[in-house]
């Protein structure tokens, strides 16, 4: 009987340990889901479609692994999905920043051209006038 109790206790402890380990992949999946949502809000679908697609694929696989109680692969896939989603968000931000720089340069060039055409040309600089100087005195013979 005592062997049975030890076995039951060991099984119960293993079950509790498995339950305790389970939230980790679920938390990682939740973090990855939030990262994918941020990337989507950053227009990654348009500006970083490959990175976002990779993040979504790995997130779906992580969710399947969690459902199948495969914690190690679920954790790994969720972490990879998170990194891919963060990359997608960063790439989208970089594209938006680049567009803003191009638009700003175009605006500055337009303002320069407008400024050059609308302001009168500066008055010509007068040429220097020769000054009348007294002829240099020649030394006298003594």
- Give the three-state DSSP class for 43: coil
pLDDT value of residue 117: 80
- Report DSSP state, residue 122: P
pLDDT value of residue 98: 92
pLDDT value of residue 64: 97
Q: Residue 70: how many CA atoms within 13 Å on its side-chain side?
A: 11
Read off the pLDDT of each residue in 8-33 and give the average, rounded to a whole number: 70
- The two tokens of residue 103 are 């638009």
Q: What are phi and psi of 8, to 5 degrees?
A: -65, -40
Confidence check: pLDDT of 1 > 50: no
Read off the pLDDT of each residue in 23-37 and give the average, rounded to a whole number: 94
The rounded distance, in Å, linking the Cα atoms of 10 and 85 is: 40
Q: Find the angle CA(100)-CA(101)-CA(103) to the nearest 5 degrees.
A: 65
């Amino acid at each position: 009987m005592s062997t049975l109790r030890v076995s039951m206790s060991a099984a119960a402890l293993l079950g509790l340990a498995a339950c305790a380990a389970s939230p980790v992949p679920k938390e990682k999946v939740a973090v990855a889901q939030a990262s994918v949502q941020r990337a989507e809000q950053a227009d990654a679908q348009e500006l970083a479609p490959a990175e976002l697609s990779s993040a979504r694929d790995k997130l779906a696989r992580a969710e399947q692994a969690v459902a199948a109680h495969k914690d190690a692969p679920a954790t790994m896939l969720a972490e990879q999905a998170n990194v891919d989603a963060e990359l997608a968000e960063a790439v989208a931000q970089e594209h938006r920043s680049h567009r803003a720089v191009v638009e700003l340069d175009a605006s500055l060039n337009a303002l320069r051209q407008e400024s050059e055409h609308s302001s009168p040309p500066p008055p010509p600089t007068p040429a220097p006038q020769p000054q009348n100087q007294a002829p240099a005195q020649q030394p006298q013979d003594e």
